Amino acid sequence: MSIVKFLVSKTFFKQILLAVVAVVVLCFFILKWLNITTNHGDFETVPDLKGKSINVAQLELEDNNLVMKIQDSANYNPDYPKFSVIEQEPLSGTKVKENRKIYITLNPSGYRKMNVPEGLIDKTFRQVKPTLEALGFKIGRITYVDNLGKDMVLKLSHKGKTIKAGDKLAKTSTIDLVLGNGNRP
């Protein structure tokens, strides 16, 4: 039997028909199985977690069949309570599948500690002020004493205590300065 005769024979067409029916039935069962296992059309709504404590956020996510993953702590934000959620991904109101991980970012307990930089003593106020402000410190009270160097930084203090290079202070701490007034002592 030649190949051309076989391609136009009844046997060949029966085999093609059986293969097509098998593919259609297989596709039907696969689609039904996917609908059942992926919960097609069933969604959970992500709640708004911003400003809530970790425990409250955990309970809300469990009520909605979602999983909490703590991603990181961010820079301290005084607008939110300590250890509360300040960011979430996906955003609130988003429709997601059951058991989806919701990534949250927490507010730390306070501003992080920064080292007081070296080389501030015997520099001018004009040089020291931007250095301290760039690190997040605030300039507090400025006191002048008799010293030949006008506006030269002679001493740094925080809450009445003298600070030196390398001391750690919270990021928004206020640093008081003692400067020279340009007069001979």
45-73 tens-digit pLDDT: 899 999 898 899 999 999 988 999 988 76
The backbone torsions φ and ψ at residue 38, rounded to the nearest 5 degrees and listed phi first, read -95, 5
Cα gap 60→65, rounded to integer Å: 9
C-beta separation of 122 from 150 below 8 A = no
Tally helices (H) and strands (E) across the chain. Answer: 4, 11
The residues, any chain, with a CB within 8 Å of residue 124's CB and separated by 6 or more, are 149, 151, 152, 153
| DSSP three-state, residue 30 | helix
Closest CA to 178 of 169, 170, 163: 163
In CATH, the number for domain 113-180 is 3.30.10.20
pTM of the model: 0.58
pLDDT band at residue 152 using 50, 70 and 90 as cut-offs: very high
Question: Is 80 exceeded by the pLDDT of residue 109?
Answer: no
pLDDT surpassing 90 at residue 179? yes
Domain boundaries, the chain: 3-37, 44-106, 113-180
> With contact defined as beta carbons under 8 Å apart, do 71 and 101 qualify?
no
Element (H, E) at 73: strand 67-73
pLDDT at 111 over 70: yes
Q: How many residues does the chain have?
A: 185
Provide DSSP, 40-56. TT--EEPPP-TT-BHHH
Distance, CA of 63 to CA of 42 (rounded, Å): 15
Q: Is the pLDDT of residue 1 over 70?
A: no
Fold of 44-106: Trypsin Inhibitor V; Chain A (3.30.10)
Tell me whether domains 44-106 and 113-180 share a fold: yes
Mean pLDDT of 115-137: 90
